[in-house]
Structure 1
Amino acid sequence: MAETRLGGARPGSTAGELPPPGRPLRRPLPNQRTFAPYKIATLIDATIAAGLTAEAVLAGTGLSLADVRDPRTLTSIWQYLTACENVVRAPVNPALAYEVGARLHLSAYGMYGYALMCSPTMRDFFDFAIRYHPLATPIQQLGWRQEGDTAVWTFTEIYDDLMSRDLRNFLLRQQMMMTSTHMRDVLGAEIRPIRAVFGLADIGTTAADEAALGCPCLFGQPAHELHYPASVLDQAPELANRLTRAMLEETCDRLVGEAKMTTSVAGDVYQLLMLSPNRLPSVQAAAARLGMTERTLRRRLNEAGYTYAGVVDDVRKTLTLEYVTTTRISADDIAWQVGFSDSSNLRRAVKRWTGKTFAQVRRG
């Protein structure tokens, strides 16, 4: 499906906080199917309660209700945007965005959500949420900062060029409520934001917005933000468990690596290298296999935020850790399997990747 605007021209407005100059916004390819269908499933559940059918929500997505109910199904950003656009065109009460956000508890997010619930402190929670947000079907880029006595979540739009005004309004309200829901999941029902800041025009629903979020809502601002007292940062989530979080973090690292390798030309290189990891082709040979020049391959990798050497390292890391943790193959044999010159170089790489020795990783 071509990358066209979902709902016509959008009016000008100020997007959220941008990254430092030179660092691009993370934007998974809209058509790449890499995400579990939990957000679409939740959207359908909420809209059925509001009187819409699943077929109406899924129109144009290429998905059936059976697909959405199957946890093995992989979906794309585009399919989620299309489903949400179907909802806002219905039309429905704008408050439905908050209902969807309130239903998206951390328990719906698999390993990512469980790891967040086990964070040792809320400061760790904020940091982890940002780092692994690519696992959560991201429609906005998540960020946070501490500003005096305030902890500030920031939401930067990365697909606003693909959205109608109504869809932007719907998804930003949904994100505000999702984040508020996640905070309550780990700190208890009494925790509420102290204000919500929208880089959107006031559409005349401020009273309903404030009732849903439980705080003052400001519109026409230069960013999209949700503010909490900074004192929450030193609190411990109700299910805090440092060891469990560390174990889940390793799983999330692997999942992020797998996801990012399917969202650009890096995925093509990754799959090519996986075919013969003990005889990795040069960048010139890889480019030829992919039907392009070396210069074009390097440029396209750079545009997507990768280097050839970095993809090679990711391939070796994935295979090495799989061999170390699931087999009893010797270090010498693993080194040969993944293209290291000897086991000493392999052991140094394992230490660099994990901060642990080969023996420690093998013991688990």
Structure 2
Amino acid sequence: MPDVSPIDLLRRLAVPLLALLLGGCSTLDYYAHLGQGQWQLLQAREPVERLLADPATDPDLTRRLRLSQTARDFASAQLHLPDNRSYRLYADLHRPFVVWNVFATPEFSLDPELHCFPIAGCVAYRGYYQLGRARGAAALLREQGLDTYIGGVEAYSTLGWFDDPLLSTMLRWNDERLVAVIFHELAHQQYYLAGDTAFNESFATFVEREGLRQWHVARSETPSASNDRQRQQFVELVLASRERLRQLYASNLPAAAMRKAKQAEFARLRRDYRALRQREWGGQGRFDAWIDSPMNNAKLLPFGLYDQWVPAFAALFEREGRNWPAFYTAVAALGRLPAPERQAELQALLQKSQN
């Protein structure tokens, strides 16, 4: 059973919810929905150790849970990530995603519609625990002339406010991805800078990748390099398309011509993807469903957020002697800088990584 009572939950949520409502960010109904969704998730938790001790637990689930606990131990002992009850609990959600994020942009812009929260700061999406609510929100945004995209999310971090559980949605991944996401989400608990999504996600992605590299070394395993290579090539393809769109939207074309050129760019992205798939991947692509579904600006938003500053954080890690505590201290120092100075420091680290 969860270790948080309804009264304790309300106590923890009272201040942020009040700040949200007084700030006028959205409606009471939306935040009630968030509170209810988080509470239901907490109610579904049970200790992993109890499941492992139960002979009735499905053998495959037992194996995955044992792996998760080994990774959880490694995260704190070797990567110096928070040592708490997060990912020592399990919750079966009986649905494919824990939340659905709604992204939106203007028709001729790659700048996201931002949503601001007192803890997370301003982010480029709004999350919903129910797919129907996400679809309804996206429909309202489309009526305003915005491009929208709904992305399912298998895991998220409460940044240490609660003991985040392993979710049944996370177990849909292969073993390597499961381990990587545990490292990624714990990195968000280690450090989080409100209002700077690219900084936070790039930091957590670096910790995930370097942590996974060290995990494989410690276990004398060979990582699945082919999947990483495919993903990197795909991301580069999408980012190149984004850059061409950015240049298009900065032009002075009339709206009708701009709209036609936008669709031509999406057609080019699909052609480039199929050529890459045939040339490099033997005709098999992991991202066929994504590339063949409807395309718009909002669908491209998540790309780049997770990768933009990863080489910069890698350079910082090297600068700090590959010492995790020293690295985290340096990351926190970066986070305390005013935004222009922080960007300049990250850019300098990025350039250093390329030399």
TM-score interval w.r.t. the shorter chain? under 0.3
The TM-score with structure 1 as length reference comes to 0.25
Q: Highest Rg: 1 or 2?
A: 1
Higher helix share: 2
